[in-house]
Each structure stands twice: as structure tokens, then as C-alpha cells.
Amino acid sequence: MPKVLGPRSQNRKLPPLTDLKHKFDDLCAWIDVQIDAPLGWQELMQHSGLDHQTINALFFKYASTTPMTWIRRRRESRASVSRAVAVPATLAIHPQAA
């Protein structure tokens, strides 16, 4: 007797991932704008119009990581740039002794 397939296995046709590269680029740009906001799977799916599995597959294909790891690394990178640009208060100019 054949095994009954669940909803994911039905004949749902998605375009190849290469056809979704523009969606990936758009999602990455949107994430950069929203980087300070809480971002989870619901936000990613809502913005992109893609499901969890497709988003995950796109990130593995084009970024070699998961979306959540990519977001975390972008936040860390942004934070390290901010720290590097900040000038410590101890570098304030002191008047010379007369």
C-alpha cells in the first residue's frame, strides 16, 4: 500500500532557487533596514511571501548559512563597526600646563 504523503509532499511547484535570487536580495536588504527590530521567521515569511523551507534553502544557497545566523552576524558586524568609530572620552584635548 502506498504511503500517504503530507501537505509538504503534495505537488506544490516552486520556481527553482535561482529564479528566486531577487527575492533573496530583497529580503537581505529589508533585513539590513530592519536590523534593530526583532526579526523571526514570521517577519521573514511575511515580508518575502516565501515559506520557512524556501527561505532557509535560499540562505544556504546564497549565504552558506541559516537566516537567523546571518541576521546575528549582521548585527554583530554592525555593532563592531559602531564600537570602532566611537572615540573614547579619554582622548579629549587637555589644555597644556603653563
Reading the block at residue 7, the C-alpha cell is: 501537505
How far apart CA 91 and CA 70 sit, in angstroms, is: 35
At residue 45, does pLDDT exceed 70? yes
- Give the pLDDT confidence score for residue 4 in this predicted structure: 42
How far apart CA 40 and CA 55 sit, in angstroms, is: 12
Segments making up each domain of the chain, as ranges: 23-81
- Give the pLDDT confidence score for residue 2 in this predicted structure: 43
How far apart CA 44 and CA 30 sit, in angstroms, is: 9
Tens-place pLDDT, residues 18-32: 889 999 999 999 999
User: pTM surpassing 0.85?
Assistant: no
CA atoms within 13 A on the CB side of 96: 1
Tens-place pLDDT, residues 48-94: 999 999 999 999 999 999 999 999 999 998 888 777 665 555 555 55
